[in-house]
């Protein structure tokens, strides 16, 4: 996988840090299976678009990628992260992202779901 990232960090106060990143992602080869962070194949399910099981051991998305020769551009993502230092041992972080699906996602979708994705999170970190 290849990824190009550009970002900026701002520190408006001693306790607050803001980070904005823009990522572009390509597969090195569409013969590779695209996996999400927990190593599960992206778009895995038990049935392929034609209603038949994918080849043994392959997700429907990857099985389709092997037959349609898709574009290797996965997509782009914008991340915004705010980190606030409450005390020297406690930080609170909030973030959000928007993923813009690229041609690989659209061309290999096992279903009609090729929409962009958004997510957000909050976490508290304690240092001991």
pTM: 0.75
Q: How far apart are CA 126 and CA 106, in angstroms?
A: 41
Neighbours of 44 (CB within 10 A): 16
Spell out the residues 6+ positions from residue 52 whose beta carbon is closer than 8 angstroms to its own.
none
Contact present, 70 and 102 (Cβ < 8 Å): no
Instruction: Write down the mean pLDDT value for the chain.
Output: 83
Pairing between strand 90-101 and 117-126?
A: antiparallel
Q: What is the pLDDT of residue 46?
A: 42
Q: Report domain extents, the chain.
A: 2-126
Q: What is the pLDDT of residue 106?
A: 81
For residue 49 the two structure tokens come to 């678009």
Q: Where are the alpha helices (DSSP H) in the chain?
A: 60-68, 103-107
- Provide the pLDDT confidence category of residue 49 given band limits of 50, 70 and 90: very low
Please count the CA atoms within 13 angstroms of the CA of 92 that sit on its side-chain side.
Answer: 5
Q: How far apart are CA 72 and CA 66, in angstroms?
A: 12
């Amino acid at each position: 996988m290849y990824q190009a990232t550009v970002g900026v960090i701002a520190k408006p106060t001693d306790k607050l840090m803001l980070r904005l990143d823009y990522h572009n992602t390509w597969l090195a080869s569409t013969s590779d299976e695209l996996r999400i962070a927990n190593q599960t194949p992206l778009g895995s399910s038990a049935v392929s678009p034609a209603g038949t099981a994918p080849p043994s051991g392959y997700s429907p998305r990857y099985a389709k990628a092997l037959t349609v020769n898709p574009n290797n551009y996965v997509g782009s993502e914008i991340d915004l992260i705010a980190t606030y230092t409450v005390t020297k041992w406690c930080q609170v972080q909030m973030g959000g992202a928007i993923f813009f699906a690229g041609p690989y996602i659209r061309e290999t979708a096992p279903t009609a779901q090729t929409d962009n994705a958004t997510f957000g999170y909050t976490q508290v970190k304690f240092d001991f």
